[in-house]
Structure 1
Amino acid sequence: MKNLPVFDLVIILVYLIGMVLVGVYFSRRNRSTEEFTRAAGRIPGWAIGISIYATFLSSNTFLGVPGKAYGGNWNAFVFSLSMPLAAWLATKYFVPFYRSTGEVSAYTNLEKRFGTWARTYAVVCFLLTQLARIGSIFFGISLTLQALTGYSMVTIMVVTGICIVIYTVLGGIEAVIWTEVVQGVLKTLGAIVIIYLVVREVPGGFQDIFKEGLANDKFSLGTMEFDFVSSSFWVVLLYGFFINLNNFGMDQNYVQRYHTATSPKEANKSVWLCVWIYVPVSFLFFVIGTCLYTYYQQHPNLLETIKLQAASEQLGLALHRLEVSELAASMKPADYGDKIMPHFMVYMIPTGLLGLIVSAILSAAMSTVSSGMNASATVFTEDIYKRYINNKSSDKNSLKVLYCATVVVGLIGMLCGIAMIGIKSLLDAWWTLSGIFAGGMLGLFLLGLISKKVNNNDALIGTIVGICVILWMTFSYLIPEQYAFLKNPLHANMIIVVGTLSIFLVGNLSRKLRRM
């Protein structure tokens, strides 16, 4: 284990302190819930756009995407290609709708449309999604810093979590947005620097990388056949469209930002700015994965070290070395893809630059986590506390609840991250969890927004059926083999697609049957 040089540790420490000081600076403005949750509507569209981009470009992207590209191909890039269509629908229908209602919570309107149960269901789904997201971010960042420092993953999660909680609680949404502007720039530069450093180590440069990538089918976007069982082009495209529509159209992280804009036009501009930055930058991370694949194929001795490390973590260090070696020998690239980027950072990035790269990864984690914490605290305060516990809460009291909820969400998110220790693929884990929790929520939103004649009972029937479908698709793998015909035959990424369509179609079918 190579220890992180003192100079790099100082850079990282300065960055963390700087983020906390940003929270302290903006804390002077947070005298009301309006300031904490909306920044009084004074943020320019370009800053919000970079902020949304920074939220999208989480440490799951920074670490998971290169690992995914290393272990497989560019199939997951199709997710990014689905963003423009989702953004178009969001800016045409969702953003104007939210700006017109004036409600800071994305879920208040569901109660007006379908009743209390609809709002509660959406809130529960959102909070579970955020906890899963925050947990996966904490896990990803601890995975990297453990390789760099040797500290336990739990310790790393606690230290970084405390810093994030402090500046999020003190600064509110304004601190979150402006720190994400800085973080967005930092993580983009980090990706460019990593590509340069990897290509520099490959003797033939991009020519060798391109040749190796072609020989091993690394540039494939997945099969173009209409195959919904494997991770085909169409599966990822559908998954990406529904997830991105969920993000832009009804995720509190983004809806809340629309309210911070100075005008509806600026809010729409922020969505498109995010798309035009994120798509090419996400492409860079797939390039990084392929570059790393070429580099480690040319250095099999380093690759063997990574495989042994991955095998040791899977089996436990107490087992005999022979067992570890046997497992390492049988490992495929997908089994240790998430280990590649941390290893390259530890051994191949020079002192000084390493601190900046780690800071970029930290910024990727902090921007997503702080955004999720602020949004979750807002939802808890508006949709749970003020709705069920104290509907006459004063603004001062509500602000205290926002502070407390932010801390609690951060702590629970850390626990979720600890529970994820040991998973094989960071990106796969996040995609599966988000698809499960977001599927029903999106279906209900579309039902309320598009189908004007669907009533409360229709929506309830559709949601119940949709939940049953989602649960079956998620857990049918537990069914005994003698009843294998009852198992879900589709790829896990289809959960959000089928779940959303089930709620929407069944709700409309119920309306038609009711009118017969």
Structure 2
Amino acid sequence: MSEFGALNWSILIVYIIANLLLGYVLSKKITSSDDFFLGNKTTPWWAIGISVIATYVSALTFLGAPAWAYEEGMGAIAIHLNYPLVIIAVVCLFFPFFYNAGVASIYEYQEKRFGKKARALVSTIWMISQTMSSAAVLYATSLVLSFIIGIDVISAIFIVTIIALIYTMLGGITAVIWTDVIQSAILFIGAGIIMYALITEMPSNFDDTLSKLKDMGKLDPLNYSFDFFKTTTVWSGVLAMTVYHITVYGTNQMMVQRTLAAKNIGDAKKSYLLMGFLAFFIYLFFIVMGVLFYGYYDGREFENPNTIILTFAADYGLPGLMGIIAAAVMAASMSSLDSALNSLSTISTLDFYQKYFAKDKSDAHYLNATRVFTLLWALIIIVPAIMYHLHAAGSILEILTKVGSFFVGAQLGMFALGFFSKHTTERGLLVGTVAAFATVTYVALATELAWPWYAVVGVTISVTVSIIASIALDGFQKEWSEYTIKGQLRSFINENKPMKENGWYLVPGKIDSINYLLFAFFVVSILSLVLFEHLVA
């Protein structure tokens, strides 16, 4: 504790208190459960976009991406090439359904398309997967606290949970968004200082270090191998991880809920497009940092690679730097955690409690219920967080993504069938979803297939089995559902509704012009990596 120093402690404590106070001030605007779930729809799109970035980046990227790149080299960037494709798919297919319906729970779509059982199933799948990912965030934050203070990680998990719970109980998606904006600025300031120090403090000439890293294969960003047992290939990044990340950004209540707080669909889309253009640079930054750490430490082994960046910050010795880093990582992680708790409590209240156990209660009752569920989910998340600590080996970012791969295939399959299938029914969908999860579990436990492909396996099984089971159980359907893309387009035409609002498409399946620019950015980013691979000596 004494090594951390008074200055660092002051920075950390002041920053945590400042975030709590900001959350408290903004929470004063909460007068109803709708305010807690969606805010008052006055939040600017750029703030929502930064919040989306901050929530998904958090400490998992700050600690995990350098740790991953330390082992894998620049090849780790392959997993993150797909964001432009992902954002195009989500804003063109998912957003119109969610935003036009004016819902707080995006899984209400499944009920409208298929039925109550489908909604309950997809909500349950999401809650399980979100619990696991939130536990990873909690573990990452506790790892930082343990490293700084010197207490064991399990004790730190309980401490961080209490802090995050208090912060979240202040409530409201608006508070979550604005604290994310501030927290992301601190996070990247800290990362920028680390990168500058790393480059200037290299033990040997920087050019010589790059040459050495190149000779060791650490600077090769693109692996064109068709080996499906390797994780970081171009094909797993562009194909398999596109499927994975579409689920993360399109069917994840935690990510989508903040965009539903936008003023209109155009602002909702712009907030995600910001992520589409910036994600590649953010992940590239942290992956390059990890590769440079390999050169700085000459490939030395760490007991826990997730502490590499913290070890460097401590060794560098700049007054106040450890305080800034600790504040940035803890604040960003708690930002992700409070977003998760807010969304988990939202789904628990709307999709289960209000629907099945307490219909027609007052708004104040549901607001109180939401806060109770927030407390319960905080307690639940502690268990897998401790499991991560006891069994985690390697990058927590990779661990989180691997765990999520078990769920995303079945989850995305449910939405893909809803959007595009004419003949899928609820009974067939339930059979297909169970079959998809069972298949992915078998593949993960009994084969050596690289985990990015789990999502592809899950979607393939989900779609195929669901359609076959639907036709077998309920026969061919005569009409397209109103909640398919074709049904929505027909509805807009028949009811003479405007296709656009302020220049942005309201109907799903239509591509806004800026998405073509985003696709061009995707092509340029890959070509840039190819050029880099050939230019570095």
Give me the TM-score of the superposition, normalised by structure 2. 0.84
Q: Which residue of 1 aligns with 2:19?
A: 19
Is 1:70 the counterpart of 2:80? The answer is no
Q: Which residue of 2 aligns with 1:97?
A: 97
Amino acid of the residue matched to residue 405 of structure 1?
Answer: F
Report how far residue 262 of structure 1 moved: 0.5
Amino acid of the residue matched to residue 128 of structure 1?
Answer: I
2:372 to 404, 427, 431: 404
Inter-partner Cα distance in structure 2 for 1:268 and 1:103: 16
Q: Which residue of 1 aligns with 2:113?
A: 113
Q: Which residue of 1 aligns with 2:326?
A: 358
Q: Which residue of 1 aligns with 2:270?
A: 269
Shift in CA distance, 464/131, structure 1 to aligned 2, threshold 3 Å: closer
How do 1:258-337 and structure 2 match up within 5 A?
258-297=259-298, 303=300, 307=302, 310=303, 336-337=304-305
Q: Which residue of 1 aligns with 2:145?
A: 145
SS in 1 for 2:31: coil
Is 1:432 the counterpart of 2:402? The answer is yes
Q: Which residue of 2 aligns with 1:319?
A: none
Shift in CA distance, 9/239, structure 1 to aligned 2, threshold 3 Å: farther
Inter-partner Cα distance in structure 2 for 1:407 and 1:205: 52
Shift in CA distance, 499/398, structure 1 to aligned 2, threshold 3 Å: same
Amino acid of the residue matched to residue 431 of structure 2?
Answer: I
SS in 2 for 1:57: helix
Report how far residue 489 of structure 1 moved: 4.1
Q: Which residue of 2 aligns with 1:443?
A: 413
Check the 8 A contact 2:341/2:377 in 1, yes or no.
yes
Q: Which residue of 2 aligns with 1:472?
A: 442
Check the 8 A contact 2:63/2:309 in 1, yes or no.
yes
Q: Which residue of 2 aligns with 1:498?
A: 457
Shift in CA distance, 2/344, structure 1 to aligned 2, threshold 3 Å: farther
SS in 2 for 1:122: helix
Check the 8 A contact 2:244/2:452 in 1, yes or no.
no
SS in 1 for 2:78: helix
Unaligned runs of 5+ in 2: 478-537
SS in 2 for 1:156: helix
Report how far residue 515 of structure 1 moved: 4.1
SS in 2 for 1:452: coil
Q: Which residue of 1 aligns with 2:257?
A: 256
Inter-partner Cα distance in structure 1 for 2:375 and 2:293: 38
Inter-partner Cα distance in structure 2 for 1:206 and 1:413: 43
- Post-superposition CA distance 1:353-384 (Å, at most 9, x none): 22111111112211211111111110100001
Inter-partner Cα distance in structure 1 for 2:290 and 2:229: 25
Check the 8 A contact 1:461/1:506 in 2, yes or no.
yes
Check the 8 A contact 2:66/2:286 in 1, yes or no.
yes
Inter-partner Cα distance in structure 2 for 1:349 and 1:390: 56
Inter-partner Cα distance in structure 2 for 1:252 and 1:141: 22
Check the 8 A contact 2:423/2:476 in 1, yes or no.
no
Check the 8 A contact 1:195/1:287 in 2, yes or no.
no
Inter-partner Cα distance in structure 1 for 2:119 and 2:76: 32
Amino acid of the residue matched to residue 460 of structure 2?
Answer: L
Shift in CA distance, 216/337, structure 1 to aligned 2, threshold 3 Å: farther
Check the 8 A contact 2:248/2:408 in 1, yes or no.
no
Report how far residue 428 of structure 1 moved: 2.5
Give me the TM-score of the superposition, normalised by structure 1. 0.87
2:433 to 463, 484, 507: 463
Q: Which residue of 2 aligns with 1:201?
A: 201
Check the 8 A contact 1:462/1:505 in 2, yes or no.
yes
Q: Which residue of 2 aligns with 1:322?
A: none
Check the 8 A contact 2:79/2:236 in 1, yes or no.
no
Check the 8 A contact 2:23/2:171 in 1, yes or no.
yes
Is 1:452 the counterpart of 2:411? The answer is no
Check the 8 A contact 2:203/2:296 in 1, yes or no.
no
Report how far residue 436 of structure 1 moved: 0.9
Check the 8 A contact 1:209/1:290 in 2, yes or no.
no
Inter-partner Cα distance in structure 2 for 1:445 and 1:88: 16
Report how far residue 211 of structure 1 moved: 1.6
Amino acid of the residue matched to residue 393 of structure 2?
Answer: K
2:310 to 331, 342, 366: 342
Report how far residue 405 of structure 1 moved: 1.0
Unaligned runs of 5+ in 1: 311-335, 477-487
Q: Which residue of 2 aligns with 1:333?
A: none
Inter-partner Cα distance in structure 1 for 2:154 and 2:470: 51
Check the 8 A contact 2:408/2:455 in 1, yes or no.
yes
Inter-partner Cα distance in structure 2 for 1:510 and 1:246: 23
Shift in CA distance, 432/2, structure 1 to aligned 2, threshold 3 Å: farther
Check the 8 A contact 1:168/1:175 in 2, yes or no.
no
Q: Which moved more, 1:225-234 or 1:191-200?
A: 225-234
Inter-partner Cα distance in structure 2 for 1:77 and 1:190: 21
Report how far residue 444 of structure 1 moved: 0.8
Amino acid of the residue matched to residue 442 of structure 1?
Answer: L
Q: Which moved more, 1:384-393 or 1:196-205?
A: 196-205
Is 1:80 the counterpart of 2:49? The answer is no
Amino acid of the residue matched to residue 139 of structure 1?
Answer: Y
Check the 8 A contact 1:191/1:284 in 2, yes or no.
no
Check the 8 A contact 2:346/2:370 in 1, yes or no.
yes
Check the 8 A contact 2:16/2:331 in 1, yes or no.
no
Inter-partner Cα distance in structure 1 for 2:378 and 2:220: 38
Amino acid of the residue matched to residue 124 of structure 1?
Answer: T
Inter-partner Cα distance in structure 2 for 1:209 and 1:33: 56
- Post-superposition CA distance 1:130-157 (Å, at most 9, x none): 1111111111122222222211212222
SS in 1 for 2:170: helix
Check the 8 A contact 2:74/2:219 in 1, yes or no.
yes
Residue-pair matches, total: 472
Amino acid of the residue matched to residue 13 of structure 1?
Answer: I
Report how far residue 14 of structure 1 moved: 0.7
Q: Which residue of 2 aligns with 1:315?
A: none
Check the 8 A contact 2:236/2:452 in 1, yes or no.
yes
Q: Which residue of 1 aligns with 2:129?
A: 129
Inter-partner Cα distance in structure 1 for 2:217 and 2:317: 28
* Higher fraction of helix: 1
- Post-superposition CA distance 1:92-126 (Å, at most 9, x none): 11111111111110111212222222111111111
Q: Which residue of 2 aligns with 1:367?
A: 335
